[in-house]
Structures are given as structure tokens and as C-alpha cells.
Structure 1
């Protein structure tokens, strides 16, 4: 409906581009001009503005202070499978993928960006491409998928690795989750800290990296399943 689209970077949040919409009203989503505009937006949203910036600059913050979205492992696995399947064969056009999966852009991008953070996939030129870990995950059975996910999680999500180190170092292999929430609040708001810890907890429980006991608000290695 708009006549002007502004593109923002995620880290730091600033205007990085503008797209003028010169398609006359009323607009038809199936019109080739409209579809070309959508493709242009996806390309601009996935292009690298500075090759010197680390790939982890998808989300605000860095290290254990990186704010993360809550994205379910089912959604991550589903997108990997869709990219790997015919006719995509490991690389998919984002607008077509979103349309086929009935995703809005706001729904698709967090999932795609988490896959990129975990090095399961790469966003480039309006496409999403599976990396070797993503290919292995797509072809693996349930147990092997958990092992692959655990390796990627501990390698590329500093907060997950930090929690695991603390649990490994303690004789009891236990720690109050609140301790890590308080640490996160040194870097972000309380709501972002809660969301980030929830995201990492869900991913870690799926991968059996560590357990979370809701009744005691406790992380442990006693029962990672």
C-alpha cells in the first residue's frame, strides 16, 4: 500500500536504504512488476553491506549479550527440509519460499537468520542456501540431528556455550537460570533478556546440551532430555 519503503540494519539500527514504490494503485500481487519489487526488497534485505562485518551481526549485541528471537526448533527443521527438498535442492528464492510455506516476511526472516547464525544456511542475493551442516542435518535421523544441532549451537551461540561451561565446571553440574538472566540484563532490557534466555533454553533442551527444570528454575546436566 505504501509509496516508500525504508530498509533498516539490525545492528546497529539505522536506515541503510530506500525503495520508492512507483506501481500505480490498485496493486495486484501477481503482477510481474509487483513480484519484481518484492524480489528487489528481499535482495536488499539479504545483501552484505560491509564484508568486514562478522556474520554474527544479524542480531543486536555480541557475545553472550547477543539478543536472540524465540524461534522453535520445529520451525528451523522445517525450513531446512523445505530448502533441501525438490525443487530447491539446497537453495531457494526467499519470496517463492515464503509464498509456498505461507509465511509473511516477518515470520520467515527470524527463522532464516537463526539458520544463518547457526551456520546451517546463508542468506545471499534474496536467496537462502544450505551450508554443509544444513545439508547433513536435512539427511540425518533424529538422534544425529540433535548431535549436529548441539555442535552448531555450542560453536556459534556464545550464551549457550557459556551456560554449558558453567555447568561443566561446577561439581553439582547445576545453576540457577536467574543467574544468567541477570547477566543478560547487563547488555539488554529485561524483556529482551527473558526472550534471549528462553530461545537458548529451547534450543539447548532439544539438542540435549543441558536441561532446564521449570519448577526450580534450574539448569543442569543431570537429565539433558
Structure 2
């Protein structure tokens, strides 16, 4: 199938979509902000972003499993008011019925549509053969490898002959070689004349996967999710990951993701709140390890190269980069990270000196750590209940995110010897050696 990004018929439109949910404490959690997107016949589109970018929410809006808070979702020009009749989903978790055989799993959607048994059987067998599982019709999911189970998921979607094949991180639960094999087979199927779907939309956080598969990569920013760029991939398939054009496009997209999202945390003001600049989900050890890698590369490193060397993906690497940038240890320049003087000092310091540097940077640049220190100063006995901080956080985060923010603040503060946390009493207490007077 040829690339027809520019001229293909519009199958789906997301028009001025805002999406928010109500948290456990009644707060509004904004997931998507002013999203506009078109999906056209003849293209594979990748929705690329890290956690918090709303990419899976967008896929569920397209599938008709969610309704937007505001804006409109359209399928073939008509407002979508229920489940999308022209879409089929492939899930990360396979989502097979363990008590049903391969063939019965593939027939499920057809049965739900009222297709007669004889036709169901014929179409299911054709789909099973198409994805390379001929001979396993009577097998059960427990007898299959992860890759084979995902093939069943593909067959169950393709047997419906949908206009839109929607895939939510379909390869992330598989080992590297199996995932690569299935990506290649998807591209080969897409190239056949009788491929039964007109458009593929895949959610991923793997930049190389997006560039390998897609005709168009929609790059999403986070918190709330929004489209920050659309990159058209004009390279012919199959694509060589080592080709200069491929590497350049991966670098370009890394730059888009890091350059825009880390700007918001690179130099927070003294008045920045823990809601505006949350703590990235990164351990102190992980931050230190990243800085050592950059230091070992003469103080400047290419993010795609680091990710490739460590077998990291975007969601693994970016919180570490965000945390190091927030603390002033790194600068981000497109797809490169550059060690600052304070980052170099931290990397070369002994353990006690590194703790002092971390303490100073965290108090100055991490709003939640600064908030905890301020609460301790104002308490009189330099001790506060952790639940007090948690309650404040739940006013702007979901329950799970609020708890994770508190855990990170405690870990960072403990390392810096600013304060400690007692599990039995549930209290955060200033470290006796810490000078918690206003910085």
C-alpha cells in the first residue's frame, strides 16, 4: 500500500478535543488539551509520547470507548456517539479469553456482529492463516508464546476488516526479537493488495518503532496531552535503522520531545508550585548513573545513542533526563544532553559532598522538596505529618500520582539529609544536621 498521507480520504477526525477526569478527591485532572487530528486512508500513524501524554486516551476516543469532555470525534464525517463501527483494537496485554481456542477467540467479534457460524469459521481461518498461525486453530492461549498470542490479537482485529486498525503499545510486552519480527510482518502485511484495513494508528513511546512503521508521527507533549509536532516519514519501506536519514529523523523527534517538555522544568522560579513542576519519576541513583554516563562521554551525549546502548526506551530515559535538568545538573539541547558545572561537581564529589550539592539544588529547584522544607520550618518542632503533605498534593494530582510524588520527595530529601520519614509514626522530621532556614 502506498503512502497517501496528503490525499487519502479522511476517516477520523478529532476536533478541538479536551479531556478531563474527576479524581478521587473531586479535583479535575486534565488529560488532553485542544487536540486536533485527522486519520486518512492509506497511512500508518504513530501517536508518540511518554507517560502522561494522553496517547492511549486518544486511541480510546477514536475507538468510541470514551467521549470527550469537549470537542467532537467524527468517523467518516459523522459525529461518533458510540463504539466506532469501523475500528478494531489490538491491546498490549493480548486480552485473549483463556478458555477459548485460537479460532474461537478470533471469531468473537464476528459473533458479536451476528455473523452466521459458517461465515465466521471461514473468515476466522483466513485471518489465522494471514498472520501465520495456521495449524494452531484449536490451541489455547496458555499453549502459545507471547508473540503467538499477539498474532491472535492481530487476527481477531483483522477478521473484522476494519477501516481503522488501532494498536495500543502492541509490541511492548514482547521480547526484542519477537517484537522486531512482528513489526516487520505488520509492514509486509500492510504492503499487500488485499490487506483488509485502510488505516493503522499505533500508540507507542518507542521513537525508533514510530519511525520504522509510520507514514506520519504525531508527537505529543505531556501534562496535559497536546500535539506538539507532526513529522511526515517519506522514507521507503523497509526502513534501515542505520541509514543516515533514519537516524536523523530519530534525532529530530528526540529533539522535539526533550526540547519542548524539559523547557518547563529546566529553570523553575522560586514561586513555582509542586503542581506546576512535579518531581520526575527518577531515583537519585538513576540520576547519578545518567550523569556518570554523560561525564564519561566528555560531558555531552546524544540521547538516542544512550538509549540504544542501554536498551532503554523513551519512558525509561526521559524521567532521568527531566530530573537532572530540573536539578540543574544537565542542559538539554535538542537531542543532546550537556553536563553543567554543578553536574560535573556532583559527579566528581565524594559521597558527603555530593549529598550537600544535591541538597542545595533540590531546595532551590524542586518545588515539592522546597515545600516540605518550608512546612518543617513553620511547624515549630521541625516535624510534620506526611498525610498533611499528601492531602495538599491530592488537590492537584490523582491519588496514585500524589503518593508517588510524596515517595519521591521523601527519597530525595533523605538522600540529601534534609529530612527523614518514620513509617511507624507517619511523620517527616528535619535531619538534625540540616540547616533548614530559608535558602
- Give TM-score, length-normalised by structure 2: 0.46
Residue 95 (structure 1) shift: 0.9
CA contact (8 A) 1:67 1:188 kept: no
CA distance in 2, matches of 1:9, 1:48: 8
What corresponds to 1:153 in structure 2?
362
Q: What is the CA–CA distance in structure 2 between the aligned matches of 1:73 and 1:54, rounded to whole Å?
A: 17
Partner of 1:64: 274
CA 1:26/1:224 → structure 2, altered by over 3 Å: closer, same or farther?
A: farther
SS of the residue corresponding to residue 410 of structure 2 reads helix
Larger Rg: 2
Q: For 2:348 and 2:359, locate their aligned partners in 1 and report how far apart those are by CA, in whole Å.
A: 16
CA distance in 1, matches of 2:260, 2:388: 36
Q: Could you say what secondary structure the match of 2:274 adopts?
A: helix
Q: Which runs of 5+ in 1 are unaligned?
A: none
Verify the 8 A CA contact 1:68 1:195 in the aligned structure 2.
Answer: no
TM-superposition CA deviations, 1:97-153 (whole Å, max 9, x none): 222222212211110011111111111121001111101111111110000000000
CA distance in 2, matches of 1:179, 1:47: 35
State the shift of 1:11 in Å. Answer: 4.8
CA deviation string 1:76-103 (max 9, x = no partner): 0000011011xx2111111112222222
Q: Which residue of 1 aligns with 2:258?
A: 46
1:182 alignment partner in structure 2: 391
- After superposition, the C-alpha distances for 1:152-184 in whole angstroms (9 at most, x for unaligned) are 000011111111122123332211101001001
* Greater mean deviation of Cα atoms: 65-74 or 122-131: 65-74
Measured in 1, the distance between the counterparts of 2:433 and 2:250 equals 43
Q: 2:234 aligns with which of 22, 30, 34?
A: 22
1:119 alignment partner, SS class: coil
Cα distance in 1 between the residues matched to 2:288 and 2:433: 20
Mapped to 2, the partners of 1:24 and 1:140 lie a distance apart of 49
Displacement over 3 Å in runs of 4+: 53-57, 222-225
What 5-or-longer segments of structure 2 have no aligned partner? 1-212, 435-439
Task: Choose from 60, 73, 77 the match for 2:288.
Answer: 77
Equivalent residue number for residue 416 of structure 2: 207
**Pairing partner for 2:249 from 37, 40, 51:** 37
Q: Calculate the aligned-residue CA RMSD, in Å.
A: 2.2
Alpha-carbon contact 1:8-1:15 (below 8 Å) kept:
yes
Q: Deviations over 1:32-52 (max 9, x none)?
A: 322122111112223359x8x
Larger helix share, 1 or 2: 1
Select 1:196's aligned residue among 405, 411, 427. 405
Write the distance in 2 (CA, Å) between the matches of 1:67 and 1:44. Answer: 21
1:160-218 residue CA offsets vs partner (Å, 9 max, x unmatched): 11111221233322111010010011112212111111111111111111001122221
Give the TM-score taking structure 1 as reference length: 0.87
1:122 equivalent in structure 2 = 331
Shift of 1:56: 5.1
> How far apart, CA to CA, are the structure 2 residues paired with 1:3 and 1:196?
37
Match of 2:353 in 1: 144
Query: What residue is the counterpart of 1:164 in the other structure?
Result: 373
Partners of 1:9 and 1:29 in 2: CA distance:
25
Which residue, 96, 104, 109 being the options, matches 2:305?
Answer: 96
Where 1:47 maps in the other structure, the secondary structure is helix
